[in-house]
Amino acid sequence: MLRSDFSSFLINLNPLSFQNVGKKYDDFEALKGVSFDIKQGEFFALLGQNGAGKTTLINCLSGISKRTSGEIFVQGKDPEIEPIFTKSKVGVVAQEIAFDPFFTPLEILGLQRGFFGKPKNDEYLLWLLHKLSLFDKKDVGGRQLSGGMKRRLMIAKALVHEPEILILDEPTAGVDVELRQNLWKFMKELREEKNITILLTTHYLEEAEALAERIAIVHHGEIVVCDETKKVLSRHKRILEIETKQGEIKEFEIHAGEDMLQKICQCKNIHDIRIREPKLEDIFLEITAS
């Protein structure tokens, strides 16, 4: 198989493919040749500081914005050429809250499902509301919902047409810890039961670390890291912290296979010993420091 043929094969095989995507706004370059693929059923996290280009990339995928260069493929099809196909396959949870507040959650979901040409299915809509802890609010006016409830209703809207790909752009902003945990439990169920592919952007790096099999970090419009989460974490050393009885803390990097006892023996009057594992937050801050 020729290299070009193999690339075409991968594009059609993967639900999402970004190939050298660029986006310019007058004199500002928001995206600079962004490239990565997302596999079927994968939970993929796209991380970056505010203004790094995450939402711009999602807007190019969903048709809100047109890319300046490069290619995007949804199940092998270009969303700019075949937008109806893309919208049928992709559910997008945007950062902005958008629904008519004079309708109830159940009515909002019913209308949204109709926009996609899907037959009425109240059983599925009620199931969505139950999974997103909104069932008891199904007949309440939308303007009476709290900020967290409105955020969860936006997730239900994105799932109403039963998409195969789910894009989550900062989905848990304003959602309390318990509901955030319930949401991720639901996302895991969707992957296991429906093999749905998930692309997440979040500022809660512990979420990405716990949930995503692979991560990409975008910095100033460029992908600077793209790898399995465990491999990204393994690039950074564990830290041995030794606290003396005088309150002094000494830190030592621990390399693979190294005998920690030698480092411990260097210290006297030891009060406590701790191992600090590498965290995605530390790695993210180090990479995006410049």
* pLDDT score recorded for residue 254: 66
Give the up-direction half-sphere exposure of residue 80: CA atoms within 13 A in the CB hemisphere. Answer: 10
All structural domains of the chain with their residue ranges: 3-232, 236-287
Residues 6 or more apart from 18 whose CB is under 8 A from it? Answer: 34, 35, 36, 37, 57, 61, 70, 71, 72
**Residues in the chain with pLDDT < 70?**
1-12, 174, 237-238, 253-268, 275-278, 290
* pLDDT score recorded for residue 8: 55
* pLDDT score recorded for residue 106: 95
* pLDDT score recorded for residue 1: 45
Tell me the pTM: 0.81
Spatial separation of the C-alpha atoms in residues 16 and 55, rounded to whole Å? 16
Q: Which fold has domain 3-232?
A: Rossmann fold (3.40.50)
* pLDDT score recorded for residue 241: 74
* pLDDT score recorded for residue 267: 67
